[in-house]
Amino acid sequence: MDLQQLRYVVAVAETRNFTRAAERCFIAQSALSQRVANLERELGVKLFARTSRRVEITPAGEAFLPSARQALEAAERAVAEAAAAVGLVRGRLAVGVIPTVAAIDMPAVLQHFRARHPEVRISLRVGGSDRLTAQVASGELDVAALGLPEGDRPRGVRVRRLAVDRLVAVVPATHPLAGEAGVGLRRLAEETFVDFPAHSPGRAQSDRAFAAAGLVRDVAFEVTAPDLLVRIVRQGLAIALLPSAITGNYPGLATVPVIDGPSRVEYLVWSAFNPSPATQAFLRSLDEVAKRAD
């Protein structure tokens, strides 16, 4: 058994197709199939059930896959640590971001990082704050930018507080509230809302604010994508509460300060356990880009 065979198994498991796995690994399909078959003979079990049209991972393959991934990650980490010892940064950097991140200019930070560490492979993942935090804590992600209700704090990870932003009401430009200097939650509770899914961090700050005021609102639409949320508001179907930092470029919409509205805190989180050289280099890039912006 060697690392290349493990890479082939992971590729087949993720693509469910030997041809696509071979393309990903830059090897002929026949050669990849032979290497996987050799490994199966060595193990004495079938990792995949396959026909000419279909590939499925077997129970033995499911049991084998997590350790195979861990072995590959450990090998990558070993190479990265050895390179770091002589001043080089290699390996991978897995970054998570919420869709509404505003406190970090992520493309600018990645450009700075990439210019200095071109041998690091970067992957980006967009998701909710709770899931991204769990993935950083488990080692699946190296670093993530989050947004949480004020008073909440990520757990199981190292934390840097980035910014605090108040939520504003986002309404169609023709809405009666457009142009108002401010509005209270009691008036907003009369409106129909579009918001993020219930129990998600993106929704929690708004729900808590209305509950604390003893108010009930109608959330008729739940979406996960901010662009769809904005389109629903523009269509006149509902209004929304969003962080003020992300609402400046929405044509056809107006924003109204919420007098007694909630706030969101953005955090950067990374592993509390032995962060990789790439993670440490990313944090340095973040600091350097921030200084340059100031």
pLDDT per position as a tens digit, 147-198: 999 889 999 999 999 999 999 999 999 999 998 999 999 999 999 999 999 9
Q: What CATH number is associated with residue 11?
A: 1.10.10.10
The answer to whether the beta carbons of residues 213 and 260 sit under 8 Å apart is: yes
| Residue 275 covered by a domain | yes
Task: Tell me, yes or no, if the pTM score tops 0.75.
Answer: no
Residue 80 domain-assigned (yes or no): no
Cα 277 to Cα 90: distance, rounded to the nearest angstrom: 8
Could you tell me if 254 and 193 lie in one domain? yes
What tens digit of pLDDT does each residue of 98-146 get? 999 999 999 999 999 999 888 888 999 999 999 999 999 988 899 999 9
**Same domain, yes or no, for 39 and 174?**
no
Listing DSSP states for 114-167 in one string gives HHH-TTEEEEEEE--HHHHHHHHHHTS-SEEEEEEETT----SEEEEEEEEEEE
Same domain, 179 and 252: yes
Instruction: Write out the residue range of the structural domain in which residue 57 sits.
Output: 3-75
Q: Pseudo-torsion of CA 126, 131, 135, 137, nearest 10°?
A: 130
Asked if 21 and 46 sit in the same domain, the reply is yes
Q: What angle do CA 100, 104, 105 make, to 5 degrees?
A: 95
150 and 187 part of one domain:
no
Query: What's the CATH code of the domain at 197?
Result: 3.40.190.290
Q: What is the CATH number of the domain that holds 106?
A: 3.40.190.10
